[in-house]
């Protein structure tokens, strides 16, 4: 009997997770911010900052800046997909929430000519141009197992 109860609770938890995922996907994504908020650049560091050196206040400022950049279509959310770590579920949730995946992708990783684009091997300026091109196509979420 205790094993059966465990299976029942696991089933209930799975149903709740599926319902929560559906509920999230049934709502429109956060609107892109326009106007003054997008005209001002963030003062918080946005790249190259080690998490270990961040104070709580600096981390909060960086998070606020990243959210503003994302809403203003000035940033792309990059998810490093850890093999067998639930990444496909996260990519599916991003797709359900209309986060803006590339039209042709392999589990969130953009493809060109049937091959993954090795953006992680590009230099910084080339990578910046590539991500800007993606944002022009409303691609705002990229997942990768490679980079």
- Give the pLDDT confidence score for residue 20 in this predicted structure: 62
Q: How many CB atoms lie within 10 A of CB 63?
A: 12
Q: CA 106 to CA 115: how far, in whole Å?
A: 9
pLDDT in tens, 6-44: 666 666 666 766 656 655 554 445 455 556 666 666 655
Q: From CA 17, how far away is CA 128, in angstroms rounded?
A: 36
Per-residue pLDDT at 90 = 83
d(CA 111, CA 139): 12
The yes-or-no verdict on residue 137 having pLDDT over 70 is: yes
Which stretches within the chain are classed as H helix? 2-25, 36-39, 56-71, 87-96, 124-136
Mean pLDDT of the chain: 75
* Closest to 45 in 3D by CA, of 58, 26, 29: 58
The 10s digit of each residue's pLDDT in 86-116 is 788 888 888 887 788 888 888 888 888 888 8
């Amino acid at each position: 009997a205790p094993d059966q109860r465990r299976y029942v609770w696991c089933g209930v938890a799975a149903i709740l997770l599926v319902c929560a995922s559906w509920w999230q996907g049934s709502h429109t994504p956060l609107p892109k911010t326009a106007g003054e908020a997008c005209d001002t650049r963030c003062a918080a560091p946005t790249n190259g900052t080690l998490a270990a050196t961040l104070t709580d206040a600096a981390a909060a400022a960086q998070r606020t800046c990243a959210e503003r950049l994302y809403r203003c279509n000035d940033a792309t959310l990059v998810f490093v997909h850890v093999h067998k770590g639930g990444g496909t579920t996260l990519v599916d949730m991003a797709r359900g929430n209309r986060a803006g995946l590339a039209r042709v992708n392999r589990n969130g990783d953009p493809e060109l000519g049937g091959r993954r684009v090795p953006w992680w091997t590009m230099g910084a300026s080339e990578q910046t141009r590539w991500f800007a091109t993606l944002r022009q196509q409303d691609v705002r979420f990229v997942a990768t197992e490679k980079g």
